[in-house]
Amino acid sequence: GNHLLRDLNKMGSDKKDFKAVNKYEIVKICAKDIELFDDLLIPISKDIIEPPVGLNENTARLLGYYLAEGCHVNENFPEKYPSITFTFCIDEKDTWVADVVAILSKEFNITAKVNKDGLNALSIQINKQVDYSKLSKFIRTYIQGGYSYDKCLVNDFMYYPKSLQLQLLIGEFRENN
């Protein structure tokens, strides 16, 4: 894939030399550019940040689905009717698609329409202005970028309770297998 991950790149020192840790640089790279023996970083802390109101296991899973298969369309062009779209395989209609529709209904009071795209794909498109604004604001609180090549979580997310981290990963990896 080409999702952004944090990577610890070596800067002129042997990775076996633990005293050389300060000679590393933290950079964001695409998953497709990860090489054997690269060190990927995920913050680990005993400090837990209380999640903001509105972030729960359902909405965390929705963020995972967005990371995997969501995008903002025409976000910077309001005159072109911006929307948020989730795209799934047609075989996932009764599982992941149903889960996204249920979360949108329960957590955001959004009635989502599922569209068939071609022979093998389904999309859920949120473009009604009031629904789009509400969902976009929520997503932008936690995720920067709007396409597969530029999406990344805000730094604090991995300090939220483990149950929320788990649901985010479930949503992302359900769709990305």
CA distance 97 to 152: 22
Average predicted confidence (pLDDT) for the chain? 80
Q: How much is the pLDDT for 150?
A: 83
Q: How much is the pLDDT for 164?
A: 94
- Is residue 75 within 8 Å of 136, Cβ to Cβ? yes
- Is residue 32 within 8 Å of 3, Cβ to Cβ? no
Mean pLDDT score, 136-159: 85
| 39-58 pLDDT per residue, tens | 766 656 667 788 888 999 99
Our CA dihedral for 128, 129, 132, 134, rounded to 10 degrees, sits at -130
The segment with the largest mean pLDDT, out of 75-89, 116-130, 145-159, is 116-130
Q: Residues of 45-66 as b/e, b for ≥16 C-beta within 10 angstroms? A: eeeeeebeeebeebbbbbbbbb
Mean pLDDT score, 155-162: 84
Stated pTM of the model: 0.74
Question: What is the token pair recorded at 156?
Answer: 């604090």
Beta bridge partners of 40: 7
Q: Cβ contacts of residue 10 below 8 Å, gap of 6+?
A: 23, 24
| 177 has a pLDDT exceeding 60 | no
- Counted residue by residue, the chain has a size of 177
Confidence class of residue 26 from pLDDT cuts 50, 70 and 90?
A: low
Instruction: Out of 14-18, 32-36, 91-95, 135-139, pick the least confident.
Output: 14-18
User: For helices 129-142 and 98-108, what crossing angle results, to 10°?
Assistant: 100
| 61-116 pLDDT per residue, tens | 999 999 999 998 877 776 777 889 999 999 999 999 999 999 999 999 999 989 99
User: For helices 129-142 and 57-69, what crossing angle results, to 10°?
Assistant: 90
